[in-house]
Structures are given as structure tokens and as C-alpha cells.
A and B are shown apart, each in its own frame.
Chain A
Amino acid sequence: MKLPFFRSPDGREGGTPADPTEAPRMGGQVLPGADAPLDRRDETVLPTEPAVSDAQGEVPPTVTAPAVPVGPTKIAARDISVFYGDKQALYDVSLDIPDKTVTSFIGPSGCGKSTFLRCMNRMNDTIQGARVTGQILMDGDDINARSVDPVLLRAQVGMVFQKPNPFPKTIYENVAYGPRIHGLTSSKSEMDGIVEVSLKRAGLWDEVADRLHSAGTGLSGGQQQRLVIARAIAVNPEVILMDEPCSALDPIATAKIEELIDELREQYCIVIVTHSMAQAARVSQRTAFFHLGRLVEHGDTEEIFTNPRERRTLDYITGRFG
């Protein structure tokens, strides 16, 4: 039961919570780990003061993301586990992701947040030896079902990566890539329209309108990332997944992308993985905290950052580990 790699940095074991208030919960439901024998609870000496005063002056970032009504559930994940070969990377994650909302995944490196993100457009299929169990329902349909074609799924679920990855083509061709391969249009003028609208929505049009036919790789890092976002929205997706989209960018480019994310929220279901808790606090309405392959806690961002239920969440957002 207790594998050594579940040892959390402060020496407690993730599998057997030492304090009942720390029982891993998921949407109010107690995780299987909490059912484990509790005879070890006395082994760890716990601080008796309230947890916040323990954080030695470190305060979690203030939530500044616009508070908006959360949309209906777009994606419902049930008991998702992911295995890379023999190694399990994700343990029974169940999570509802609402539409027209920014949901952020936070957690230390290797906690499974990117792995979970990649389940939602079945990008794990492209990895040798990866296996996903559980159900992901998008608008009520299981995307892991045999009948679902990952090619069509990925047209509905756009993805933006950590490192800007424009194709070695012109700016125009980068944006037109998706519409072309999905045969969305065959006329030149329609394609021009799609490219223009996508670039405008990505906030890049004014900067590149006069050089649409120069190489996409010649843009700056922040512009490249917005180009990639334009490429993703050119096929009219319903969901946009972002895997640490700003970690390779400077603060100004980051601010632009965050502004863009907030604008896109009105039309899309956005899921963003981020290392920066400040970013999660700035852009997202909902936050899920992952640790060691498990979903520890999720809820409204405001609540996660001001009043976390879990000790580990508090430790992470106040910078005590991760």
C-alpha cells in the first residue's frame, strides 16, 4: 500500500493521512486513502496551532481573477488513472470542469497535472506505453470510447504548449493549418476570414497584419504563443487546454497572454496548467491542486487560496514546498 514515492517532502506519507482533517477529499467525497487503517496517526507530531500561523509570514497570493458565474459542467472526469508503462502517474482523479470558465491546475512538478490535461484531448495516445483508465465525459459523451476518433476530438479540444511551437511556416499558414487539415473551407476568401478572425481574437492581428506571409518562427516568444493560440482557435474548438503557456515568457508577454485568456473565457472552456500560483489566482475562477498523482483539493479559486481545506494545499500555496 505505502509506496516510498508517496512520501511527501515533509516526511508524512500521502497514503495514510495522519490527521483526519487532512483526509484527501475530492468534491467532499473522502478518497479511498482515507479508509486506510489510522493506527499510524500518532507517529507524526502535529502542530496544534492553526495552520495559517504556521506559514511564517508567507501569505498566499491574493485572488484577483474576475468573479464570474461558473458555467455548466463541460467535462466530467471519473476515476481517471494514467500509467506510463508500469509506472502509475495519476490515481483515480475525478473532477468536473465547468464551461465558460478558466480552471487552473496547480501543484509541484511531476504531480500529474499535465498528464491529466493531456487526457482531455487524448494526447497520451501519442506516447508509447501510456494507458488511461476511467471515464472522461465531454457533454455527456465518453471521449475514451472506441467510437470516438481522436482526430475529431482534438478539433474540438485545442491545446497550447509550454514552449511556443509555431510550425516552420508563414504566420498565415500556421493559423490556416487546422482549417486546412479538417477541410473547414476550400475558398481562399473564407480562409482569409478565418485567419483574420483567429488572429484578432488572439490579439495578434494588429502586430502581424502587414506580414502575414513571413515566417511564424520569426516572431517574439510572446507573439509566437499568441500565434499558437490563434492556431488553436481557428478550428472553433469548445475547450482550450493550456500547458504552462507562460513559463517560457517574460512578465509583459505573460500579462498579455493572461489578458487574452480572460477574454477567451467568455467563449470557451479553458483549462490551464500553471506553476505560478500567482497566475492561477489572477486568471482562474476554479482551481484544482494536484500532489503526487492525486487530486488533493479543488474548488473556487478564492476559496482554495484563502481557506484551503487541506494542509498540503496550504503548504503549497504558501510556498513551503513545490
Chain B
Amino acid sequence: MIWFLIPVVAVLAVVAYAAGLALAKRRAAGHPQAHSRPQQHGYYALIWVAAPALAVIILAGIFSGPIAQNLISAGLPDVVQDMEPFRRDAFLNDARLLGEGQRPFQTWTGPLAEALESEAARSAGIQRTLMWGGIAGAALAALLGGLLAFAQIGPTLRARNRVEGWIGGLLFACSVVAILTTVGIVFSLVFDAVRFFDRVSITEFLFGTQWSPQIAIRADQVGSTGAFGAVPLFAGTFLIMLIAMAVAAPVGLFSAIYLSEYAGPITRGVVKPMLEILAGVPTVVYGFFAALTVGPAFREFFNGIGALLVGGPLDGLGQYLMLVQNQMALVAGTVMGIMLIPFVSSLSDDIINAVPQSLRDGSYAMGATKSETVSRVLLPAALPGIAGAMLLAVSRAIGETMIVTMAAGLAANLTLNPLDTVTTVTVQIVTLLTGDQEFDSAKTLAAFGLGLTLFIVTLLLNIVAQRIVQTYREQYD
């Protein structure tokens, strides 16, 4: 591998820095008006030695594999050329291993054994050539870059500006990486979602009420052809989101009001960091809590009520409650709501604090009490911002996966009954993409359809929410 050259380049770069520094000092002697300081010349030399060499190394690292493969498969003897593709791949892999001095995986017999020997030698030769080519290229690049830099070093070189330019470029590249990656993710999502919608029509997906994605993987397997109506998933997601917000919105908002208006500095200093720590608990821990603590507790509670009702005038309801299971929308929604409390509270706290003090003073000076000030002045003033915060929380609730996977169940029931098991978009993506899969079946591709829907919905929610919060902040700045 060519990557071992990177430390060598690092050492060369340091040497170039020292040399550039010394050279700049010598050339600047007698020129009091030198444009840049010697260190900046040193960095200039460092960049010109390191950057071209690194570029060559990275290119070589990426492309040497495919090039070697092409070269090897170009000159294969007939006996190898005639093998089935997957055996040929195994053979070539063994040849490469042998060429690198390792033991092949399989034993090849007859003419193949001879071919293996010769192919191993050829493969090793090609690898060696590429490797030395890469090294030579990198060395040449470093040398040319270095010569260029050293030739330029002198009192008039604007090294400071050029080094700043390089640093700016590097920082820009880093910041673009995240954006480009996201764009790549979106493209792959769209690409696969389009393949899915080739098989299943969009209208069926968006408006169908049957969800059972079990498509036969093998031709002889017993299985339905699958149904891809995502409405039960949307309904389940919506139901759980609703329950979660019913828990998180009031509790989070009220705790924010307490923290910003009522709590003394000591309470605030203790409670606020604790809430923020709570926001960092991994969701799988909440899922645990939901599945093993809250679920059984809720089941026992409802079974108990059912047992009381059975035989009475509400016998039917009693019978139903007796059969409630651990996994239900209510459990997942409640625990998700608890998870969202710190999120809602922290955002609302910021927003309430952004309401100008002059409004509070004005209200208190009118003889309003604390709660009157909060309900009649602060909340109306903060309402747009709080609405934005709630939308952000909704978008998190919709995207949340782990808690619902563990506590909501898998059955795609089209129901708004919180005691029923439901399933959500995210849970279905998880189940579709874990276990056996084949990437051109509608079953697997359905995950991309769901993912794209989820992406669009949360993106829109986030955009709207950010807009609201931002205009709200500007209003009071």
C-alpha cells in the first residue's frame, strides 16, 4: 500500500518548512521591507512540498486498485479466461495473495496450478510497478513543488497572503464535506426510491391502507406478493408523535417557564444542566426503559382496570383491556415524550429569555403578578418562537427510531387507539433493511421510499420551524 508514504511526506514537509525559513531569512537579509515574515515563507514551502505529494498519493491510493485489476485481467491465459466469473475472481484473489507472499485460500489443480504461479508472479510485478510509480510520482511532485516554492522565496513574495489563501481553502473544503455528503445521501435515497416507485405506484404507496412488505425472496417460497400502502405507518407515526407531544409540550414548556421566570439562580444552576444531561442520554436507553419498565407497568395497569370492569356494564371494554399487551403506542409515545422534555424545555427557555426585560418590567409595573405576566405578556410575545420549537420537537419525534422499535410493536395496524400496537415509518425501515435482503426486491426498496418520505417531511418541518424561530429572534434583537 502506498499510504505508508504519508508520514514520509510529513517529515519532508517539516524539512521544507525549516529550509524555507532559513532561505527566507538569508534572502531577506538587507531587505528591511520584506513583504512577509520568514515563518510565512516556511509555511509556503511546506504547503508546496506537501500538497502536490499528498495529491499524488491520494490519487494513487484510490486508482491503483482498479488499474491493477484491469491490467491483470487484460492478459489472462485462456484457461483462466474460460472460468466462470465468480471462480475467476476467487482465482485472481488467490493469485494476488500468493504474489504478496501469503497462502491462497483454495488449492487449484491441473493447468490452473501452473497458471496460479505465473499469475501470482505477474500480479506481484504489476503491483510493484504501480507502487514504485506512485512513489516516484509523489517524490517528483514534492520535488517540483519544492523547487517552485524555493525559487519564489524572496523579499517580494506575498507568502502571508498565499498561505492564508491555502488555509481558507482547506477550511472551506472541510465545511463542504458535510454538505456534499448530505447531498450524496439524498441522491442515493432519490435514486433507489425511484426504482421502488417503478414497481409500486406512488398513489398506492401514499394512499394504500395495507402494509405487508413480505415478498417472496426465492421463486419457490410461499409468500404474498406484498402490499405497500404506507397509510398505516403514517397513522402510527402520527399517533405516537401526538402522544409524545402531549407529554413533552406542556411539561417542557412549563419547566422552561419555571426555569426562566420563577427559579432562583441556585435552582436554575442545578436543574438546567441536569435537563441538558438528560438530553444526551442515548435513545436506546429510553427504549430499554420503555420496553422493560413502562410497558409492563402500563399493561398491568390496564389489565387491572379491565379485570374490574369485566362482568359489569362495561364488560366489552373490560375484556379488551384484559388483553392489552406490553407493546402499545401509548408506551412508546409517553417515553418519547419524556425524551423530548429536555429538548422542548431548553429551546423554550432560550426563547422566553429572549423576550425583552422591558416587557416584564412593564407588566410588573402595572401591578401584574408573575403568573399574569407569564400568561398575558410573555407567552403571547414568545408564541411564534415556542411554536417553532414545538415543530422542531415534532420533527424529532417523527424521526425517532429506537424507542418505537423497542416499544411500539411491528404490526401495521391502521388505528388511532393508543392501546394498540402500531408501527412507524422508521421502525419499518429498520425491519426492512435488517436480516436477509436483496437489493432489487420491492421489499428492500420500500425502505428507500419510506426514507425519502420521512426525509421530505422532516426537512419541511425543520425549514418552517427554523424560519419561525429566526424571524422571532430578529424581532427582538
Residues of chain A whose beta carbon lies under 8 Å from any beta carbon of chain B: 121, 123, 126, 128, 150-155, 158-159, 161, 163, 165-169, 177-178, 181-182, 228, 231-232, 235
Q: Which of A163, A166, A167, A182 contacts B367 (CB 8 A)?
A: A182
The verdict on B361 contacting chain A, using a C-beta distance below 8 Å, is yes
Among candidates B356, B368, B369, residue contacting A165 with C-beta atoms closer than 8 Å: B356
Chain B CB count within 10 A is highest, among A152, A155, A165, for A165
Q: Please, what's the 1-or-0 string for B340-383, where 1 marks a CB less than 8 Å from any CB in chain A?
A: 00000000000000001011111111111100100011001100
Are A126 and B361 within 8 A (Cβ)?
yes
Q: Determine if B359 and A165 form an interchain contact, defined as CB atoms under 8 angstroms apart.
A: yes
A-B contacts, 9 listed (Cβ < 8 Å):
A123-B365, A126-B361, A126-B364, A151-B369, A154-B366, A161-B365, A177-B368, A181-B376, A232-B366
- Complex CA gap A168/B354 in Å reads 14
Q: Mark B223-240, 1 if CB is under 8 A from A, else 0.
A: 000000000000000000
Name the A residues within 8 Å of B377 (CB-CB): 167-168
Query: Bound complex: CA of A159 vs CA of B366, how far in Å?
Result: 7
8 extra A-B contacts, CB within 8 A, seeds A178-B367, A235-B367: A126-B364, A153-B367, A154-B364, A155-B366, A161-B365, A167-B359, A167-B363, A168-B381
Contact residues in A for B369 (Cβ distance below 8 Å): 151, 181
Q: Do B362 and A165 have beta carbons less than 8 Å apart? A: yes
Interface presence of B264 (CB below 8 A): yes
Cβ of B265 < 8 Å from any Cβ of A? yes
Decide yes or no: A161 and B361 within 8 Å by CB, A169-B380, A177-B376 being known contacts. Answer: yes
In this complex, which of B356, B362, B367 has the most chain A Cβ atoms within 10 angstroms of its Cβ? B367
Contacts of A152 in B (CB 8 A): 367
Q: List chain B positions with a Cβ less than 8 A from chain A.
A: 264-265, 356, 358-369, 372, 376-377, 380-381
CB within 8 Å for A154 and B367 given contacts A128-B265, A167-B381? yes
Set of chain A residues within 8 Å of B381, measured between Cβ atoms: 167-168
In the complex, which residues of chain B have a beta carbon less than 8 angstroms from the beta carbon of A126? 360-361, 364
Q: State which of A128, A153, A163, A177 has its C-beta within 8 Å of the C-beta of B358.
A: A163
A-B CB proximity, top 10 nearest: A154-B367, A159-B365, A165-B358, A155-B367, A165-B362, A168-B381, A178-B366, A151-B367, A181-B368, A167-B377
Please name all residues of chain A whose beta carbon is closer than 8 Å to the beta carbon of B360 when the two chains form the complex: 126
CB B442 to nearest CB in A, in angstroms, measures: 53
A269 shortest CB reach to chain B, Å: 16
Say whether B376 contacts A161, CB under 8 Å.
Answer: no
Which residues on the B side are within 8 Å of A161 (C-beta)? 358, 361-362, 365
Q: Is the CB of A123 within 8 A of B361?
A: yes
Cα A169 to Cα B359 in complex, Å, equals: 12
Task: Tell me the complex Cα distance, A321–B384, Å.
Answer: 46
Per the bound structure, the CA–CA distance linking A165 and B359 in Å amounts to: 6
A231 to B368, CA, bound (A): 13
- CB of A231 within 8 A of CB of B367, answer no
Give the CA-CA distance A123 to B367 in the complex, in Å.
10
